[in-house]
Amino acid sequence: MPLSEPPLVDSHFHVWREDLPLIDRAWHRKGRDATIEQLIETLDTHGVTFGVIAAASLHGLYNDYVRAALKRHRRLRATATVAPTTDIYQLERMQAEGFVGIRFVWELLDEIPDIHSGDYRMLLRRVADLGWHVHLTDRAHRFADTVAAVEASGAKVVIDHLGLFDTPEGINGAAFKTLMAAVERGRTWVKLSGGFRFKPASEAKQYAQALVKLTGGERLVWGSDWPFAAFEDEVTYADTIAAFEDWVPDPAVRRIISGTTPLRLYFT
């Protein structure tokens, strides 16, 4: 059931059509459309006022459909996937349209780009200069190095899906401890999202509660992960709101996570 006081901001979802181009290594073949119109209807149905589109790894550098959503709906913000050589003039145009960060979906990659290269150092500095963030997923064994490189640039970091570190140690693992330490340093935020992607899904709650205990709700945001890629027939939007309520039973803390913090992070 939806919360009596629904989230004000959904900080993670996607929009796409089946006819949009896919990269060669796309991990998921879209089973159905998740159009801009369907998104807005879904947000309105559940009383969600603002939202943040996460760049879909499936489309690589094709940000055009997301850009169309931003131009049509000023209640939305978004992250983009960009080439490391993208110049400041293009990034400034994107900022004016409502883009607020770039996304590295590196958890999917066996080998990642050299984040310490000159091109990536320049890109990260431009992200920092714009006040943007790096929206990041990476594998547990690389996470500490990747976060350190982004932090060194001065850019903010936003981590997907509670970290989604698939390690036997769970919240006691090195990667999650690195994530917690980064949050404490003050330049990293974490999304309470994607709990249904954990195996088993019930384990997501302990990650969420550890983060809430650490932060009191500060530096956390909530996201539905609509349209639930690869789980389209197993998860509903109402399910994700119910999971949020289960993870964070205190309404005052939920208001921080789904209102105060994301409004400050994405919309100011």
The letter for the amino acid at 11 is: S
Supply the pLDDT for residue 41.
98
Cα atoms in the Cβ-side hemisphere of radius 13 Å centred on 182: 29
Supply the pLDDT for residue 7.
80
CA angle 246, 51, 88 (to 5 degrees): 130
Supply the pLDDT for residue 57.
86
Supply the pLDDT for residue 66.
97
DSSP class of residue 56 equals: P
Supply the pLDDT for residue 168.
86
Supply the pLDDT for residue 134.
98
Supply the pLDDT for residue 154.
97
Instruction: Determine the 3-state secondary structure of 71 from DSSP.
Output: helix
- Give phi and psi for 4, each to the nearest 5: -65, -30
- Percentage of the chain beyond pLDDT 90 is 85
Supply the pLDDT for residue 1.
35
Query: Which pTM was predicted?
Result: 0.94
In which residue ranges of the chain is pLDDT below 50?
Answer: 1-4
